[in-house]
Amino acid sequence: MASLMSLAPSLRSYAQRSVRLNVGRSMTIISKDSGEDFKKQNYSERMKDKGMPVSPHVTVYAFPMAALTSIVNRVTGCLLSVGCFGIGAAELLGSGNGLALMEWTASHGMLMTAAAKFAVTFTASYHYGAGVRHFIWDYYPENLTNTIAEKSSWQLIGASAGLGTITMFF
């Protein structure tokens, strides 16, 4: 036991000296030519040379429902922005262009009108509902668990689809 105690200070000084001199880890020395070759190869080529598969990441990864609904929230936000900009631009270009666009949609029959109503209502209610959900998670982080997130994701989709379906007929 005494020999271990006497060994501890010498190990400590060795560790401190190794950290200071950066000798505690081995370094790979690459020639200038091999470094240039390495820079020319992309990731896929390097993996092929090593005989390793390239990671397919997104193509094989099963996204959790909360991640999918988060992506859809961003998409609906972009769609709402484009729609508002489009209607606003139509109104700025001339008097009544927004109204003309809505009349054109209505003149193409019940199917076109119902689809337009569903698209607008689903997008707006989904984005608003997702915002409320994030607001709740910000102030009540104990509700941010995997099971609650998945359950609220399905509820968000169902509520938005339900509201969209209801507005199709009015």
pLDDT tens track for 23-61:
545 555 566 666 666 666 677 777 778 887 766 666 667
Q: What are phi and psi of 125, to 5 degrees?
A: -70, -35
Contact yes or no for 156/130 (Cβ under 8 A) = yes
d(CA 107, CA 7): 91
113 against 101, higher pLDDT: 113
pLDDT band at 10 (very low <50, low <70, confident <90, very high): low
d(CA 110, CA 116): 10
pLDDT tens per residue across span 64-104: 899 999 999 999 999 999 999 988 888 888 767 778 888 88
DSSP assignment, residue 145? S
Q: Which residues contact 115 (CB under 8 A, 6 or more apart)?
A: 168
